[in-house]
Structure 1
Amino acid sequence: MKRISAWSVAAVLLVLLVAGGLRAVEARRAKQAAAAAAPAETVIQLAPADVVRPARRTLAQTLPVSGTLRAVDWALVKARVAGELTGLTVREGDAVKAGQVIARIEPLEYQSRVRQAQEQADSASAQAEVAQRTYDNNKALVDQGFISRTALETSLSNLNAARATHRAALAAVEMARKSLHDTVLTSPIDGQVAQRLAQSGERVSVDARVIEVVDLGRLEVEATLSAADSVAVRVGQRATLRVEGSGLLDPSAAAHQVDATVVRVNPSAQAGSRSVLVYLRLDRSTGFRQGLFAQGTLAVGEAEAVALPLSAVRIDKPAPYVQVVIEGRIVHRPVQTGPRGQVGGQTLIAVQGVDEGAPVVAGTVGQLREGTAVKLTAPVAP
């Protein structure tokens, strides 16, 4: 009986051992199958050019500016008297000198007015002489007691009136001569004809525009800035501009790039847009024309801050952020941005919220999902 019980226990133990072994084998096979079914994690290789590091730099703060080239000296030649326009021969592009006769208004009518005013002045002069003689005679008679002093005072009043009439007639002569002089239209400045607004033989009215003259020797850009940006603009600040179309004959960058200086800042903002006009004088005007479009950057100061390339700061989320590599994983780190500036031709932006020297994914890589495994192929120098 005891022998049967021992064999029974041994059999039970053997069954348990076999069942445990089978379960271990099945668990191992299940783990291997799961490991084979799960895909291997992708590790992105980042080259040295794909990583930038924040560093403290001195940023040259700039503002984008754009505007139209305008001549500093320009003038509209207008008719100062009405009449028929004659002798207008200059056309667009012709060079003119200051004081050069541009055209004339038919002077016959104004010559007649001068003669008429002169005749009236001569008549008033004769009347004043008669009044003077009358006064002198009455004064002698009063001294001898032949007439009353009242008659003398009357003759004195007549003399004063005659003199006033004579002076008024002389003023009329001057006005008539001024109108006759105004029949000759001259250019007030040296320059070139930009517009011809009338034709010979046309009857023009007072203040009618005849030609526009511009002097291309000095050009400036009328740029529009927002009210916030205009606060940092001061007279004397320098800008680098590129002018459209001026480099067609000469493809070099210097042909259509020119430096400029802020010479004036409008003290009033424009109604509606609330923008402020800033005027920049070009250092050279050779090869440029009025009306061309210019754009560039205006240097308004310097700032020292921890900066990154502008392209490394991503804005596809509600708040700007950078992609930082921490322990081989991508972490989206929110940052606060500051002023921008140019360093070595590259646009940098000041950032807060990322450590100086931390590896940040460059903007050329694109967006990486947070938690993505990455590997730096080579150490990157700060």
Structure 2
Amino acid sequence: MRKHWVRWALAALVLMAIAGGVLRAISARKAQQAAVATAAVPTETEVTLNPAEVVRALPRELAQTLPLSGTLRAVDSAVVKARVAGELTGLTVREGDTVMAGQVIARIDPLESTSRLRQAQEQADSAAAQAEVAQRTFDNNKALVDQGFISRTALDTSQSNLNAARSTHRAALAAVEVARKSLSDTVLRSPISGQVAQRLAQPGERIAVDGRVVEVVDLSRIEVEATLAAADSVAVQVGQRATLQIEGSTPGAVPGDRQVGASVVRVNPSAQAGSRSVLVYLRLDSAAGFRQGLFAQGRIDVGRSTALALPLTAVRIDKPAPYVQAVVDGRIVHRPVQTGLRGQVDGQTLVAVTGVPDGALVVAGTVGPLREGTRVKLAAPAAAP
């Protein structure tokens, strides 16, 4: 009886050990599954945006502008040309020299012109003598006609000879004036005050009539000659303002400070043959320090309008339709927008938009794409020192 009881006790202990192991295994399994489930639940991320990384859609006055480029040229310039042919002498000016209006800058050898003047003067003296002879002959014949010694026909002939002699004398005097003018033209003078831009001939050269000798430019007034497409030129009018950046810098200007204001003063009424472009002329507000031939580029302000606008960089185009990343109730919402006219405000390109309300908070273009629904937090502005 005692042995029987011991066997039953051992069996009970074995069953209890097995049951305990099973319970521990089940508990461990449940704990493992709970840990896996907890790890599988994603943690929601939050993006912090600085004040510089968000912008607001606000009504702005947009300046509608047109890009342009052109070359600086002096308003007043002149090319001194030879009016008579001959050997160039006395050319004393070089590039960069300052000259005054009327200043002698070169001469043509006057020997030939002096000889022509002397020849013309001699011919005029001869014609004057012939006219005097014809006058005396006419006077004598007139007296003889009155006395009846010669016919009226002889008097008419002497009258014709007198008229011809007088005409010959007047022609000779005109030739003297032409020769005197040619002699005066051997002296080359600058027609304007300015600086010598080019010396186009050298002393000792034989210059033909209309041969180019010196180019003089007046840099006190400079304008920009720019080209615009025919379609763009329609919006350009005299008096419109422009901001230009000139190649090179002005004296005393810091590097990069090369912008200057300008005004449209003329618009060519005809398009250029071939390119079909239109020339536009702009007067610089200040010509100090600039040189003819420098390159200029900038924008003409052709109009202004007010519209709800955002920086162009804030409008994203990585989807089929443009959109903005708006911040609504602390989360990112992708809002489709329609864009309109563009304009410049404080050097930044803004674009008119529809599809967002006035005052909407939008992520700036400096921030990359954010998933829609992402939670965002706006950082407080840095305290002033």
TM-score, length-scaled by structure 1: 0.81
Out of 314-323 and 55-64, give the one that drifted further.
314-323
CA contact (8 A) 2:315 2:365 kept: yes
Out of 155-164 and 114-123, give the one that drifted further.
155-164
Aligned counterpart, 2:303: 301
The one-letter amino acid of 1:160's match is N
After superposition, the C-alpha distances for 1:76-122 in whole angstroms (9 at most, x for unaligned) are 11111111111112111111111111111111111000111111111
The one-letter amino acid of 1:116's match is Q
Q: Distance in 1 between matches of 2:125 and 2:133?
A: 13
CA contact (8 A) 1:64 1:295 kept: yes
Equivalent position SS for 1:340: strand
Any gaps of 5 or more consecutive residues in structure 1?
A: 1-25
Across the two proteins, how many residue pairs are aligned to each other? Answer: 352
The one-letter amino acid of 2:304's match is E
Mapping 1:30-49, distance limit 5 Å: 44-49=47-52
CA contact (8 A) 2:332 2:375 kept: yes
Aligned counterpart, 1:125: 128
After superposition, the C-alpha distances for 1:212-240 in whole angstroms (9 at most, x for unaligned) are 11111111122222233322322222333
Q: Would you say 1:185 and 2:188 are equivalent positions?
A: yes
Q: Distance in 1 between matches of 2:141 and 2:363?
A: 112
Equivalent position SS for 1:146: coil
CA contact (8 A) 2:339 2:351 kept: no
Aligned counterpart, 1:331: 334
Aligned counterpart, 1:100: 103
Any gaps of 5 or more consecutive residues in structure 2?
A: 1-28
The one-letter amino acid of 2:108's match is I
CA contact (8 A) 1:323 1:333 kept: no
Q: Distance in 2 between matches of 1:145 and 1:319?
A: 117
Could you tell me how far 1:250 is from its partner in structure 2? 3.8
Aligned counterpart, 1:269: 271
Q: Distance in 2 between matches of 1:374 and 1:231?
A: 49
When residues 192 and 76 of structure 1 are mapped into structure 2, their CA distance, relative to the original with a 3 A threshold, is same
CA contact (8 A) 2:323 2:334 kept: no
Mapping 1:155-304, distance limit 5 Å: 155-247=158-250, 250-251=253-254, 256-304=258-306
The one-letter amino acid of 2:119's match is Q
Q: Distance in 1 between matches of 2:335 and 2:44?
A: 20
Mapping 1:329-368, distance limit 5 Å: 329-331=332-334, 333-342=336-345, 344-368=346-370
Q: Distance in 2 between matches of 1:318 and 1:137?
A: 112
When residues 321 and 230 of structure 1 are mapped into structure 2, their CA distance, relative to the original with a 3 A threshold, is farther
Equivalent position SS for 1:80: coil
Out of 155-164 and 189-198, give the one that drifted further.
155-164
When residues 249 and 341 of structure 1 are mapped into structure 2, their CA distance, relative to the original with a 3 A threshold, is closer
Equivalent position SS for 1:98: coil
TM-score, length-scaled by structure 2: 0.80
Equivalent position SS for 1:153: helix
Mapping 1:61-100, distance limit 5 Å: 61-100=64-103
Out of 191-200 and 142-151, give the one that drifted further.
142-151
The one-letter amino acid of 1:303's match is S
After superposition, the C-alpha distances for 1:257-291 in whole angstroms (9 at most, x for unaligned) are 32222222222222222222222222222222222
Could you tell me how far 1:200 is from its partner in structure 2? 0.8
Equivalent position SS for 1:355: coil
Q: Distance in 2 between matches of 1:283 and 1:341?
A: 21
Could you tell me how far 1:184 is from its partner in structure 2? 0.6
When residues 315 and 222 of structure 1 are mapped into structure 2, their CA distance, relative to the original with a 3 A threshold, is farther
When residues 113 and 279 of structure 1 are mapped into structure 2, their CA distance, relative to the original with a 3 A threshold, is same
When residues 320 and 186 of structure 1 are mapped into structure 2, their CA distance, relative to the original with a 3 A threshold, is farther
- 1:57 corresponds to which of 57, 60, 63: 60
Q: CA RMSD in A?
A: 3.0
Q: Distance in 2 between matches of 1:169 and 1:318?
A: 89
After superposition, the C-alpha distances for 1:308-355 in whole angstroms (9 at most, x for unaligned) are 11222345567644344567344251413214132x443322223433
The one-letter amino acid of 1:251's match is V
Q: Distance in 1 between matches of 2:373 and 2:236?
A: 45
CA contact (8 A) 2:325 2:332 kept: no
CA contact (8 A) 1:330 1:368 kept: no
Equivalent position SS for 1:357: coil
Out of 119-128 and 332-341, give the one that drifted further.
332-341
Could you tell me how far 1:181 is from its partner in structure 2? 0.8
CA contact (8 A) 2:81 2:213 kept: yes
The one-letter amino acid of 1:229's match is D
After superposition, the C-alpha distances for 1:116-154 in whole angstroms (9 at most, x for unaligned) are 111111111222222222222222233333333222222
When residues 38 and 340 of structure 1 are mapped into structure 2, their CA distance, relative to the original with a 3 A threshold, is same
Q: Distance in 1 between matches of 2:313 and 2:75?
A: 39
